[in-house]
Every structure is written in structure tokens, then in C-alpha cells.
């Protein structure tokens, strides 16, 4: 069994530790500078205040200042932070990275290379931040696919992929991470998986708008609601994921598997992004909807901001037409510019 150090004690980083200790690994969970209350609670009584759950006592909690101790002798390093914290996490973990020691992240997102105007997947962003002597043998991998942290922490059967640019690393990580209820499949298409992992947050918000619109019109959840509306948005979302994957250089078919269809379904139904979309659909506006999320990380807003800038860059080079990706463009307008919540259905599906 391996020594695994996880940096980031939020809901997903902490939930990730549960199947690892159940597999028999020595798991060390290190909080960021924002996780002091969580680590304090875990050290005192083993209770995670955000997951609202007692974690297995074999998960060893460490404060951010104790990272050096927690990383000593680690066989695998993991980043469990949000996309907004990935550069901080890379700088923090870099001094403790060693040649040949795999690094895996559960962070979802994309960055735009402002100089070249091209989208970059986060495993490549992290690798660039590692010391040169480490970069030669470490190709950061990422976990993607449908996973609600609260369900994984409660041992609900979960299926994900681990993706990256080194085949041997993926095989080793899949073997180390998988367990009786945590099913991990290697995926060589790092671009496709990571584009899906990022965009699904934006598109899940879009599908969930339908629930809010239905409620706003006096409806209640049931078999007759806005499911026709939601299904069309879902289908267009997958189509647009495939277009962006191809644009960045991945395999569009990856969107039809766990990273795309699977993750979009779970995020719109059980994730915080789905709850945020419902609030927007109710007509509360962006500011009030954000306030009602009570500080929850909203990756959908971050990826929509990245994509707004990326669309301009790809259009300027003639690689993307101004009429393409109508759903994504509408979601940018709704979430970033407070545009009315309505869908341009007549422009969907290549019309």
C-alpha cells in the first residue's frame, strides 16, 4: 500500500480520501490556508463540518503549516483544491515533489494562455510549475467524471476516469485509487476529459435553469415540468463540448462517456452548480443568486469567464465562427452580464 498526501481539505479533497483509506493506503489530508476550521475539527473529533460527516479515523489531518511533515515519504501527491487555487497549490506542493512520484489532481478547469490565446488543461499548467528536475519524469494526472463529494464520502458506488499524458502513470494510479465502490478507469485523452470536466460546470448551470423557470411559473417538481426544455439544453451542451474538445485538439467522443455525459448529469442534479442555475432560473439575478449560495465555490462562473475570453481569441484566428456555440454564448450572457434567462433553441444543433 502507498503513502498518499492530499493537499486541500474541502469537500471533494476530503471525500477523495475515504476510498483511499478503505483500500488500505496511508492517507494524509493537508488543509490549505482556508481550511483551518476543517482541520481543527478533524483533529479534535474527526468530524468534517462541510461534509457534515465523521471521516474514517485513519485519515490523518494536517494544518497547512505541517505540509512538509505530511509530504515526507509520500508515494503519491494529490491536489484537492478548486481551479482558483491551482496555481497556489502548485507553488505550495512543488518543493515537496520528487522525480518519479505521481501527482494527481481532482481540480476541474481550463486556463487561457493570454500570450497565445489558446486554452490549456490544468495538468499541463501544474507541470509547468514543477521544478525542472521533476518535470522530466512527472506528468500530472487528473480525476474526472461524475462524483458528488457527499456521496463518495458515504461510499456510494462511483465511477470516474483518471487522465494524463503518461500511460504508465495512468495505469499505476488507476490501480492505486480504485476500490470496491470507487471504480477508476484510465483515459488517455487528457484534453477531452479536462475540457468536459471544466465545461460541464457551465452547462449544468444551463440545464438547471429549467427547474428554476418551472418553479417561477408556479410549477412543482414532477413528471410534467420543464424536462423537454432541459433535455434539449443537455443535448446541445454535449454537442458544444464535442466542438470545443476538437478545437483544442482532443477526441470529441470523450464527451459521450463519464467525463462528459456522466459528469454533466450528476452536476446538474446533485452539484452546487445545479442549485445555482435553479436560482438564476427563478429570476433572482446573478448577485442575489451568488449570495444565496453562501460562499460555495462556483466553478461555473470561473469557466464562463475563461471561455468568454477564449471565444474572442479563437474567432480572431478564424478557428471558430461567430454563430457557433450558441448555448455557451447565452450562458456567458446570463451568468456574467445578467441577460434574461431564455434559450436560443432555433440556433441549436447546427441550425
Query: Known catalytic residues?
Result: 200
Task: Please tell me whether 13 is known to bind a ligand.
Answer: yes
Task: Please tell me whether 28 is known to bind a ligand.
Answer: no
Per DSSP, the three-state class of 168 is: helix
Task: Please tell me whether 293 is known to bind a ligand.
Answer: no
What DSSP line would sit under 313-340, residue for residue?
HHHHTTSS-TTS-HHHHHHHHHHHH---
CA distances from 88 to 119, 125, 267 (A): 19, 12, 26
Task: Please tell me whether 287 is known to bind a ligand.
Answer: no
- Cell triple for residue 289? 443568486
**CA–CA separation, 118 vs 63, rounded Å?**
36
Give me the phi and psi of 7, to 5 degrees please. -100, 115
CA distances from 249 to 54, 56, 117, 195, 241 (A): 43, 41, 14, 10, 12
Q: Return all residues near 214 (Cβ < 8 A) that are at least 6 apart.
A: 221, 225, 226, 281
Give me the phi and psi of 245, to 5 degrees please. -60, -50
Task: Please tell me whether 308 is known to bind a ligand.
Answer: no
Largest CA distance in the chain: 61
Task: Please tell me whether 118 is known to bind a ligand.
Answer: no
**CA–CA separation, 273 vs 279, rounded Å?**
10
Task: Please tell me whether 45 is known to bind a ligand.
Answer: no
Handedness of CA 192, 197, 199, 204 (dihedral sign): positive
Contact 96, 71 (CB under 8 A): yes
**CA–CA separation, 148 vs 266, rounded Å?**
7
Contact 14, 35 (CB under 8 A): no
Task: Please tell me whether 257 is known to bind a ligand.
Answer: no
- Cell triple for residue 98? 520528487
Binding residues for NAD(+): 8-13, 149, 272
Question: Residues within the annotated binding site?
Answer: 8-13, 149, 272
Amino acid at each position: 500500500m502507498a503513502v498518499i498526501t492530499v493537499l486541500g481539505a474541502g469537500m471533494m479533497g476530503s471525500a477523495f480520501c475515504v476510498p483511499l483509506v478503505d483500500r488500505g493506503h496511508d492517507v494524509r489530508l493537508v488543509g490549505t490556508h482556508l481550511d483551518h476550521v476543517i482541520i481543527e475539527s478533524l483533529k479534535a473529533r474527526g468530524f468534517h463540518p462541510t461534509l457534515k460527516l465523521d471521516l474514517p479515523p485513519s485519515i490523518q489531518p494536517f494544518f497547512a503549516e505541517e505540509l512538509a511533515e505530511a509530504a515526507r515519504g509520500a508515494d503519491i501527491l494529490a491536489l484537492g483544491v478548486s481551479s482558483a487555487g491551482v496555481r497556489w497549490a502548485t507553488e505550495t506542493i512543488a518543493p515537496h515533489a520528487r522525480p518519479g512520484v505521481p501527482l494527481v489532481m481532482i481540480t476541474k478547469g481550463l486556463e487561457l494562455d493570454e500570450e497565445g490565446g489558446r486554452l490549456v488543461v490544468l495538468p499541463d499548467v501544474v507541470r509547468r510549475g514543477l521544478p525542472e528536475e521533476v518535470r522530466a519524469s512527472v506528468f500530472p494526472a487528473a480525476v474526472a467524471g461524475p462524483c458528488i463529494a457527499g456521496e463518495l464520502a458515504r461510499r456510494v458506488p462511483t465511477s470516474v476516469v483518471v487522465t494524463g499524458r503518461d500511460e504508465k502513470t495512468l495505469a499505476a494510479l488507476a490501480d492505486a485509487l480504485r476500490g470496491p465502490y470507487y471504480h477508476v478507469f484510465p483515459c488517455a485523452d487528457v484534453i477531452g476529459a479536462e475540457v468536459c470536466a471544466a465545461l460541464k460546470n457551465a452547462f449544468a448551470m444551463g440545464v438547471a435553469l429549467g427547474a428554476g423557470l418551472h418553479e417561477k411559473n408556479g410549477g412543482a417538481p414532477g413528471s410534467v415540468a420543464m424536462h423537454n426544455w432541459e433535455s434539449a439544453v443537455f443535448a446541445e451542451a454535449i454537442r458544444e463540448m464535442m466542438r470545443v474538445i476538437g478545437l483544442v485538439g482532443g477526441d470529441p467522443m470523450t464527451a459521450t462517456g463519464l467525463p462528459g455525459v456522466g459528469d454533466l448529469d450528476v452536476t446538474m442534479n446533485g452539484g452546487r452548480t445545479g442549485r445555482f442555475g435553479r436560482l438564476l432560473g427563478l429570476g433572482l439575478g446573478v448577485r442575489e443568486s451568488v449570495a444565496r449560495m453562501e460562499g460555495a465555490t462556483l466553478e461555473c462562473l470561473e469557466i464562463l469567464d475563461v471561455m468568454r475570453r477564449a471565444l474572442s481569441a479563437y474567432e480572431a484566428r478564424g478557428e471558430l465562427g461567430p454563430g457557433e456555440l450558441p448555448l455557451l454564448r447565452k450562458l456567458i450572457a446570463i451568468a456574467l452580464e445578467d441577460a434574461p434567462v431564455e434559450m436560443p433553441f432555433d440556433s441549436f444543433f447546427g441550425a
